[in-house]
C-alpha cells in the first residue's frame, strides 16, 4: 500500500486530470495543477498529495481534512497495486465492511475508510461496492487493469463532484472554482445554468453555471476511458416507491444511524435550533450516552432561537453556546458567501449557513446537523397539500412574449407565472417551492450571454424524480430529494462548511433513514412530522413541539433591505456585462414577489463579482 503525500498548509478536496495517450505531456503546466490543487485548500488544511500513473495518463490530487486515522497512513491519493483512489466524505459502515474484507484476505495498513473503499473495489467491483457502502461520498478510482476511471456520488448528493470532457480528456474536481483553473481554456458563463438559478434559486444537475462543466447528480456513478468524448453515467440508487409499513422501529434505527455518525478521531458538535429535526438528533445523542457541544445561531428580534435551543440542550445534558449574527455585517457576509460558493443561489439561508459554519470551525472540525429532516419526514410547507393550478392560458406563446419585455406590467407577470404552473404537475410543484422569475423573463434578462431557456427546460429535468402513483406527501418528498435538496440544500451546507475546513454530517439523509421514512404509510395529522413528534414528546421541552418551523433558513434583512440594494447590481460586472440594459424593469415595484426577485439578483451579482 502506497500513500503519496506531502505536508502543507493547504484539504477534503478531489482533483483529477486524465489524458488520452501514453506519455502525453500534462495538459496544463505543473504550476497550474498546483494552483488548482491549492484552491481546494479551504476544504481542509491537514495535508495534500498528488499521484501520477506509470503510463502518465492520469493525475490524481487530494487535499485532506483529517477526521479518521489522523496519521499519514490515512492520507491520499491512496494506491494499491494498479488501483488509485481519491475520496471525499465518510463511510459510516466502514468498520463492518473492513471485517468482511479481512475475512476474505484483505490486509489493511490504516484505520481509514478510504482504504476500505480501495479494498472493497478490488474485491467486489464498483456496482457491488455501491450497494454495500453507507455514507456521504464522492470518489474517483483509476483502475490500471481496465484502463478506466470510475466513481460515484452518494445517494442524496451530500458530497459534490463536477467534471468536464474536452478532446478526449477528462477533468474532475470537488468544485467548479478549482476545476476551471485546470481546464485548457476558461469556460464562459452558461446561460441555461444561470436561468435555472433565476427561476429555481439554484442550478440543478447535470448543469452548472459554466459552459462545458457538469455535475454528477445524486445516486449517480460513472465510467470513462481515455479518448471518450463523455463519461458513461448511470443512476445506481433511487428513492423507494413502495409503501410497506408503519412507523414502528424508528427509534432503534435512528439512534443506530446517529451512533455511526459519531465515528471520528476528533471532537464532534451539533448545530441545534429550536425545532424538531436537530432536537431529534440531540435526543438520540443523549439516549446514546453522549454529551456534545451544541451551537445555535443567535439572531436579532423575535426569530432568535438561541434560548429555546439552550433549553433543549440543558434538558438533554449537552453544553450549549450561541453565535450571534449581526445585521450590520451584511456586506461582509455577502462577500464571504460569494467567496465560499462555486455556484450562486438565491436563498438567504446561504448567508446564515456561512456564519454558523464560521463559528463552528472556531472550536472543531466536525458538526452534526438536522438537515434532511424535512425531506425524510415531510416538513416543508408545500408538503401540506398537492399544488393546484388553473389550466395554462390559451395564448401561452403570446403571454411568454409579453412577459419577456422589461415594460410588462405586474398583472402580466402574475398571469404568466400562473399559466406556467398550469403546464404540468412538475411545473406547478417547482413554482410552489420557489416562485421567482418566469423562464421567458430569465432568458430575456440574460440575452447578452445568449441564454436559451423555456418552460420545457425549466421543468423537464425534474420529471425523472416524480412518481405519480405515490400517495401525498411521499410523492413530494421523492421529488424534493432529487431537486431542492440535492440542488440547493446540500450544496449550501457543503460549501459553507468546507469553505472553513468543517465537515458536516446529516443523519436524516443517511440512505437507511430515507428508505425507512419514504416507505412508511403516511399518517394524516394536523401537525407535520408525526414520527419525530412522537419520538420527542415527553423527552424534550414542550416548546420544541409547539414552535413554528424556522431552522437556520432565515433571511438576513427584511424585504426593503434587498430592494434598496438593487441599484448596486447595476454597478457590478454582472449587471453591466451579463444582464440586459433594462433589467430593472423585471424588478419593477409592481412585479410579483419583488423583494424575492431583488434578493435573487443581489445574491447572484455578489457571487459573479468575485469571478467575472
Residues 429-464 pLDDT 10s: 999 998 899 999 999 999 999 999 999 999 999 999
pLDDT band for position 21 (cuts 50, 70, 90): low
Q: How confident is the model at residue 604 (pLDDT cuts 50, 70, 90)?
A: very high
Residue 196 included in any domain: no
C-alpha distances (whole Å) from 515 to each of 261, 313, 474, 481 are: 17, 29, 11, 12
User: Which residue, of 517, 546, 575, is where some domain finishes?
Assistant: 546
Strand bridging mode 220-224 / 148-153: antiparallel
Mark whether 144 and 231 lie in a shared domain: yes
Same domain, 457 and 476: no
Residues 66 and 207 in one domain: yes
Q: Residue 88 forms beta bridges with which residues?
A: 138
Query: SS3 letters for 446-511?
Result: CHHHCCCCCHHHHHHHHHHHCCCCCCCCHHHHHHHHHHHHHHHHHHHHHHHHHCCCCEEECHHHCH
Shared domain for 584 and 537, answered yes or no, is: no
Digit-coded pLDDT (tens) for 465-491: 999 999 999 999 999 999 999 999 999
CA distances from 314 to 307, 320, 499 (A): 11, 8, 30
Banded pLDDT at 215 (limits 50, 70, 90):
very high
pLDDT band of residue 6 (cuts 50, 70, 90) is: very low
Of the listed ranges 261-275, 521-535, 554-568, the one predicted with least confidence: 554-568
Q: Which is more confidently placed, 3 or 191? A: 191
Half-sphere exposure of 601 (CA within 13 A, CB side): 35
The DSSP secondary-structure symbol of 24 reads P
| Co-location of 165 and 289 in the same domain | no
32, part of any domain: yes
Does 221 map to a domain? yes
Q: Is the pLDDT score of 541 beyond 60?
A: yes
Do the domain assignments include residue 242? no
Is 101 in the same domain as 137?
Answer: yes
- Indicate whether 476 and 457 sit together in one domain: no
Greater confidence, 45 or 109?
109
Looking at the fold, whether 207 and 314 belong to one and the same domain comes out as: no
pLDDT, residue 26, reads 47
User: For residues 336 and 358, is the Cβ–Cβ distance under 8 A?
Assistant: yes
The answer to the question of residue 20 being in a domain is yes
CA 283, chain centre distance (Å)? 25
Asked whether the bond before 139 is cis by omega within 30 degrees of 0, the reply is: no
Cis amide linkage into residue 206, ω under 30° from 0: yes
For residue 281, pLDDT over 70 is answered with: yes
pLDDT given at position 393: 63
Q: Please tell me whether residues 407 and 282 are part of one structural domain.
A: no
Residue 236 in 3-state DSSP?
coil
**pLDDT tens per residue across span 122-153:** 999 999 999 999 999 999 999 999 999 999 99
pLDDT at 8 over 60: no
Neighbours of 245 (CB within 10 A): 11
Output the average pLDDT for the chain.
90
Element (H, E) at 49: strand 47-52
> 323 and 262 in one domain?
yes
* pLDDT at site 266: 86
Asked whether residue 102 carries a pLDDT value surpassing 60, the answer given is: yes
* Interacting residues of 14 by C-beta distance below 8 A, sequence separation 6+: 40, 61, 62, 86, 87, 88, 138, 139, 140, 161, 172, 173, 174
- The owner of cell 458563463 is 189
pLDDT at residue 538 in the model: 96
Which of 148, 174, 147, 171 has its CA nearest to residue 161? Answer: 174
- Regarding whether 281 and 179 lie in a shared domain, the answer is no
H or E segment and range at residue 540:
none
The answer to whether 69 and 112 have CB atoms below 8 angstroms apart is: yes
pLDDT at 238: 96
Residue 125 lies in a domain: yes
Q: Which of 226-235, 294-303, 398-407, 429-438 has the lowest mean pLDDT?
A: 294-303
Closest residue by Cα to residue 222 from 237, 232, 207: 232
Long-range contacts of 536-541 (CB under 8 A, 24+ apart): 536/276, 536/279, 536/280, 536/283, 539/283, 539/316, 540/279, 540/282, 540/283, 540/312, 540/315, 540/316, 541/308, 541/311, 541/312, 541/315
Tell me the CATH number at 316.
3.40.50.620
Relative to beta strand 13-18, strand 58-64 is antiparallel
The reported pLDDT for the residue numbered 552 is 53
Among the candidates 526, 546, 566, a domain finishes at 546
Residue 579 shares a structural domain with residue 531:
no
Domain span including residue 430? 396-461+558-609
Residue 29 sits in a domain whose CATH number is 3.60.20.10
- Does 272 map to a domain? yes
What is the predicted pLDDT for the residue at 317?
97
Q: Give me the percent of the chain exceeding a pLDDT of 70.
A: 92
Give tens-digit pLDDT for 356-397.
Answer: 999 999 888 899 999 999 999 999 999 988 887 666 666 777
> ∠ at Cα 81 (159, 100), nearest 5°?
65
Cis omega before residue 186 (within 30°)?
no
> What is the number of structural domains in the chain?
3
Distance CA 396, CA 399 (A): 5
Sequence-ordered strand ranges (E) for 206-303: 214-215, 220-224, 232-235, 268-271, 293-298
Residue 7 forms part of a structural domain: yes
Residue 402 has pLDDT above 60, yes or no: yes
Amino acid at each position: 500500500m502506497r500513500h503519496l503525500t506531502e505536508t502543507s498548509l493547504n484539504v477534503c478536496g478531489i482533483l483529477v486530470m486524465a489524458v488520452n495517450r501514453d506519455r502525453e505531456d500534462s495538459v496544463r503546466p505543473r504550476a497550474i495543477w498546483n494552483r488548482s490543487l491549492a484552491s481546494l485548500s479551504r476544504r481542509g488544511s491537514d495535508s495534500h498529495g498528488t499521484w501520477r500513473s506509470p503510463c502518465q495518463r492520469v493525475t490524481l490530487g487530494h487535499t485532506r481534512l483529517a477526521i479518521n486515522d489522523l496519521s499519514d497512513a490515512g492520507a491520499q491519493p491512496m494506491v494499491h497495486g494498479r488501483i488509485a483512489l481519491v475520496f471525499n466524505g465518510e463511510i459510516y459502515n466502514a468498520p463492518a465492511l473492513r471485517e468482511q474484507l479481512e475475512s476474505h484476505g484483505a490486509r489493511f495498513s490504516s484505520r481509514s475508510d478510504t482504504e476500505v473503499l480501495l479494498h472493497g473495489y478490488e474485491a467486489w467491483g464498483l456496482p457491488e461496492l455501491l450497494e454495500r457502502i453507507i455514507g456521504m461520498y464522492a470518489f474517483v478510482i483509476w483502475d490500471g487493469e481496465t484502463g478506466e476511471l470510475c466513481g460515484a456520488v452518494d445517494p442524496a448528493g451530500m458530497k459534490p463532484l463536477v467534471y468536464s470532457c474536452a478532446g478526449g480528456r477528462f477533468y474532475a474536481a470537488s468544485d467548479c472554482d478549482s476545476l476551471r483553473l485546470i481546464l485548457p481554456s476558461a469556460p464562459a458563463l452558461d446561460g441555461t445554468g444561470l436561468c435555472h438559478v433565476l427561476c429555481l434559486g439554484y442550478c440543478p444537475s447535470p448543469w452548472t453555471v459554466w459552459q462545458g462543466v457538469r455535475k454528477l447528480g445524486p445516486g449517480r456513478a460513472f465510467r470513462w476511458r481515455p479518448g471518450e468524448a463523455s463519461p458513461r453515467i448511470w443512476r445506481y440508487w433511487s428513492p423507494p416507491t413502495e409503501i410497506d409499513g408503519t412507523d414502528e422501529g424508528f427509534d432503534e434505527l435512528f439512534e443506530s444511524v446517529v451512533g455511526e455518525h459519531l465515528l471520528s478521531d476528533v471532537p464532534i458538535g451539533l448545530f441545534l435550533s429550536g425545532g424538531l429535526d436537530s432536537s431529534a438528533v440531540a435526543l438520540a445523542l443523549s439516549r446514546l450516552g453522549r454529551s456534545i457541544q451544541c451551537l445555535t445561531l443567535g439572531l436579532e428580534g423575535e426569530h432568535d432561537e438561541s434560548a429555546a435551543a439552550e433549553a433543549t440542550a440543558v434538558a438533554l445534558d449537552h453544553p450549549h453556546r450561541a453565535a450571534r449574527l449581526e445585521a450590520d455585517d451584511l456586506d461582509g457576509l455577502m462577500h464571504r458567501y460569494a467567496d465560499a460558493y462555486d455556484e450562486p443561489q438565491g436563498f438567504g439561508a446561504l448567508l446564515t449557513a456561512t456564519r454558523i459554519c464560521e463559528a463552528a470551525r472556531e472550536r472543531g472540525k466536525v458538526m452534526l446537523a438536522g438537515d434532511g429532516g424535512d425531506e425524510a419526514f415531510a416538513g416543508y410547507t408545500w408538503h401540506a397539500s398537492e399544488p393546484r393550478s388553473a389550466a395554462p392560458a390559451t395564448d401561452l406563446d403570446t403571454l411568454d412574449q409579453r412577459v419577456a419585455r422589461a415594460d410588462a406590467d405586474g398583472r402580466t407577470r402574475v398571469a404568466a407565472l400562473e399559466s406556467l404552473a398550469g403546464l404540468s404537475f412538475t411545473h406547478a410543484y417547482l413554482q410552489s417551492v420557489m416562485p421567482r422569475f418566469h423562464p421567458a423573463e430569465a432568458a430575456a434578462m440574460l440575452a447578452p450571454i445568449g441564454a436559451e431557456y423555456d418552460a420545457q427546460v425549466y421543468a423537464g429535468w425534474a420529471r425523472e424524480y416524480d412518481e405519480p402513483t405515490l400517495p401525498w406527501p411521499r410523492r413530494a418528498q421523492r421529488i424534493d430529494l432529487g431537486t431542492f435538496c440535492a440542488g440547493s440544500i446540500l450544496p449550501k451546507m457543503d460549501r459553507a462548511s468546507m469553505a472553513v475546513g468543517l465537515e458536516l454530517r446529516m443523519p436524516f439523509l443517511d440512505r437507511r433513514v430515507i428508505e425507512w421514512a419514504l416507505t412508511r404509510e403516511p399518517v394524516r395529522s394536523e401537525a407535520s412530522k408525526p414520527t419525530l413528534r412522537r419520538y420527542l414528546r415527553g423527552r424534550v421541552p414542550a416548546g420544541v413541539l409547539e414552535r413554528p418551523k424556522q431552522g437556520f433558513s432565515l433571511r438576513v434583512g427584511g424585504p426593503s433591505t434587498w430592494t434598496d440594494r438593487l441599484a448596486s447590481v447595476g454597478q457590478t460586472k454582472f449587471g453591466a456585462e451579463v444582464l440586459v440594459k433594462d433589467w430593472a424593469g423585471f424588478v419593477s415595484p409592481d412585479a410579483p414577489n419583488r423583494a424575492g426577485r431583488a434578493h435573487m439578483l443581489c445574491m447572484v451579482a455578489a457571487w459573479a463579482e468575485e469571478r467575472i
